[in-house]
A and B are shown apart, each in its own frame.
Chain A
Amino acid sequence: MEPVAIIGVGQTAFSSNRKDQTYADLVYEATAAALSDARLSIANIDNIVTASNDFFDGRTISSMAVGDACGAAFGGGKSISTVEGDGTFAAFYGLSRILSGNYDTTLVVAHSKSSEGDLRLLTNAFFDPLTERSLGLDWVSSAALQARVFLREKNIGNIECGNVIVKNRANGAKNPKAHLRKPLTIDEALRSPLLASPLKETDVCPSSDGAAAIILASKSFAQKKSERPIWVRGVGLCADAPLGERNLAESKALRLAARQAYQMAGIDNPTAQIDLIELSEQFSYQELLWLEELNYRNLNRVNLSGGCLSAHAWIASGLVRMIEASLQLRGQASNQISNAKRAVAHGQYGLCGQSHAVWVLEN
């Protein structure tokens, strides 16, 4: 693959209710931040990929409401498309648009306002309407089924999950964009009330409002116009069967997505060769499960931003992982580690992590 660069990143602050801004306003805010970060104007962007979800936005053709906020109408209009799914999937399509030779600069933007709908109903709609939906499950209660299987099979206890929460919340406390910015003690994590056994309240990510944007550029554009490009060296996507048809203690889809991305980037020893990982963990157990499939053992280098357990604006979440990984590689992260050269950013979508995206980024 010809290298493509991330030349601009922007994100809003995440919080439980951004009532002050419509979701189009949030998209504008993230887009403007990414453009300013790249020292470009909207005129330099030749195409756009948005990520949105009609259910979460309560609107058919939800892309229609955000197009103009990210430049779809600028200068007579730009080529624009919309991926429904996590922002990392939109970024993948954005990347392909550049690699196709048709475009030099793709703006990828994703948003969610978790506060505006009822997530229990909206995620209940992920289930088959004939055979499952009327049972009443949602993203939390189905994940609880996965958590129980995984924790038992791998003999993982509350302490290990609690440690993930404590680590991510401590990191989140240092991140000015994060939604939850108060560190949590292990006692608080362990004493937190049950939400859906075995998941406790603190095991579950917050539901946040916010938006995120990145600007991808072709090699020639990035070399000419960017002072600090972050290079995409590998990317892999993979989806799995519905949750009743797979072993929930593992994620074959993530394993395959990682294999593809690692192979492209020439990684054969992830723990030694990757300096940090930004992971999409909606629940504490998922960080442990996803890391097994990513074959990464250095827990302290995971979710230095605080991860999804500190801020989770659904569709925007994976793009935030790419942004935070890029900031680490640029030496500009809120919780900066020294000498970061290579990072992995991960996105997921669907129930119990049905679909995954893995990106390998280098400075």
Chain B
Amino acid sequence: MNEILTHSSRIKVPYTWSAGEALSRFFKALRDEQKILGSRCLKCRKVYVPPKKTCGTCFVECSEWLEVGPSGTLISFSQASYPSPAHRVLKPLFGLIRLEGSDTSFLHMLGETNLQSLKIGVKVLPVFAEKRVGSILDIAYFKVVS
């Protein structure tokens, strides 16, 4: 009676998410020009990176486009010491980056560095992937510049 059985399964549902017009433009700029684009709210003038079609606070279009970065400032960082099926590398370094010209912070990975050498406020630059397909991983990671 003490034996409790379990049933193992997994949910595997394929998804194809549309990037829409705004994010398509953002991803194409990453892929084709290695540029990072942001969009500016016409009302509050806030620059969003990744770009948004509309501003969540003002509820108007963010139809003014601009290139931001490529350099940015490290707002925060962490290294996940635990394994996860979601991680792309062992013990990934994550950064929250304020790109030059942007008013929001951009989530990405950090590379060519280690936890000990990172500090809030250091300058970082994107390193683009050699093979770019129009996705957020067209930026391979950000590296620290001295």
Q: Do chains A and B touch in the complex (CB under 8 A)?
A: yes
- Which chain B residues border A146 with CB–CB below 8 Å? 76
CB distance from A184 to the nearest CB of B (A): 20
The total of Cβ contacts below 8 Å across the A-B interface reads 112
Asked if A129 contacts B78 (CB within 8 A), the reply is: no
With A149-B96, A197-B78, A197-B79 already in contact, 20 other A-B pairs whose C-beta atoms are closer than 8 Å: A58-B11, A124-B86, A130-B136, A131-B136, A133-B86, A134-B88, A135-B136, A136-B84, A140-B80, A145-B76, A145-B94, A149-B76, A194-B79, A195-B80, A195-B82, A196-B78, A196-B79, A196-B82, A244-B96, A244-B105
Q: Does A193 contact B (CB under 8 A)?
A: yes
> With the chains together, A194 CA to B93 CA distance in Å?
13
CB distance from B121 to the nearest CB of A (A): 10
> With the chains together, A20 CA to B1 CA distance in Å?
11
Q: Does B77 contact A (CB under 8 A)?
A: yes
CB distance from B54 to the nearest CB of A (A): 13
Spell out B's residues near A (CB within 8 Å): 4, 6, 9, 11, 15, 17, 19, 23, 27, 48, 50, 56-57, 75-82, 84-88, 92, 94, 96, 104-109, 115, 120, 135-137
Contact of A145 among B6, B77, B84 (CB under 8 A): B77
Asked if B19 contacts A132 (CB within 8 A), the reply is: no
- Which chain A residues border B87 with CB–CB below 8 Å? 136
CB distance from B86 to the nearest CB of A (A): 4
- Which chain A residues border B75 with CB–CB below 8 Å? 149
> With the chains together, A268 CA to B42 CA distance in Å?
38
Q: Does A118 contact B (CB under 8 A)?
A: yes
Chain A residue, CB-CB nearest to B97 = A244
Spell out A's residues near B (CB within 8 Å): 19-20, 58, 118, 120-121, 124, 127, 129-138, 140-142, 144-146, 148-149, 152, 193-199, 241, 243-245, 248
Asked if A132 contacts B107 (CB within 8 A), the reply is: yes
> With the chains together, A131 CA to B106 CA distance in Å?
9
Chain B residue, CB-CB nearest to A125 = B86
- Which chain B residues border A130 with CB–CB below 8 Å? 17, 19, 23, 27, 135-136
* A137-B94, A137-B107 known; A120+B84 contact, CB < 8 A: yes
Asked if B104 contacts A138 (CB within 8 A), the reply is: no
Contact of B17 among A58, A129, A141 (CB under 8 A): A129
> With the chains together, A276 CA to B92 CA distance in Å?
40
- Which chain B residues border A120 with CB–CB below 8 Å? 82, 84-86
Asked if B84 contacts A195 (CB within 8 A), the reply is: no
Chain B residue, CB-CB nearest to A244 = B105
- Which chain A residues border B76 with CB–CB below 8 Å? 145-146, 148-149, 248
CB distance from B138 to the nearest CB of A (A): 11
Contact of A244 among B11, B84, B106, B137 (CB under 8 A): B106
- Which chain A residues border B79 with CB–CB below 8 Å? 194, 196-197
Asked if B81 contacts A148 (CB within 8 A), the reply is: no
